[in-house]
Amino acid sequence: MGKHVITLMVNGESHRLEIEPRAHLADVLRDELALTGTHIGCEHGVCGACTIRVDGAITRACLLLAVQAEGAVIETIEGLSDSGEIGDLQDAFRHRNALQCGYCTPAMLITAQDLLLHNPNPDRATIRDHISGNYCRCTGYQAIVDAVETVAKARQTAGERA
């Protein structure tokens, strides 16, 4: 099968890759760039485990062909961890035991951050709604909702103080 050459900007690094046109972005991130923090739970766009940020918007990496991401700014859990952008969420997840096996967690964190960027003061129902595209089979969700709520409140307070 003919390969395509694409350039991807991932977590601030530029990568020139030769890939099959049918390869989806989740596979390319994992297999070509060893960014294994992006997980795969279904490869049909349902579970949300592969959620990443593409040009600032949360996206299911299994639903996007890598060739479609040419030129896009891609952020994965690795980049968001290194930059410290979601450090407070990560801390809250840890303290609230909002993860058990951790397989849903990177995507859940990215989804939660997306909510808080757009709605800094969500109530519990809004949080539940927003993460409703992300499966978690372990926690039953409540601890995740608690953790996100805690961070929302903490950011609000910090914002007021600033």
Residues that bind ligand FES (CB under 6 A): 40-43, 45-50, 60, 62, 99-105, 136-139
> Based on CB atoms, which residue is closest to ligand FES, 104 or 110?
104
Collapsed DSSP state (helix, strand, coil) of residue 11: coil
> For residues 70, 74, 76 and 82, what is the CA-based torsion angle, rounded to 10 degrees?
130
Q: What are phi and psi of 122, to 5 degrees?
A: -80, 145
Q: Which residues contact 99 (CB under 8 A, 6 or more apart)?
A: 93, 105, 108, 138, 139, 144
CA 110 to chain centroid, in Å, comes to 3
Which one of residues 4, 15, 32, 36 is an interface residue with another protein (CB under 8 A)? Answer: 36
Check residue 24 for interaction with another protein (CB under 8 A): no
Pairing of β 57-60 and β 51-54: antiparallel
> Based on CB atoms, which residue is closest to another protein, 139 or 150?
139
Check residue 43 for interaction with another protein (CB under 8 A): yes
> Based on CB atoms, which residue is closest to ligand FES, 116 or 131?
131
Which one of residues 81, 85, 149, 154 is an interface residue with another protein (CB under 8 A)? Answer: 81
Out of ligand FES, another protein, none, what residue 50 binds, judged by CB under 5 to 8 A for its kind, is ligand FES
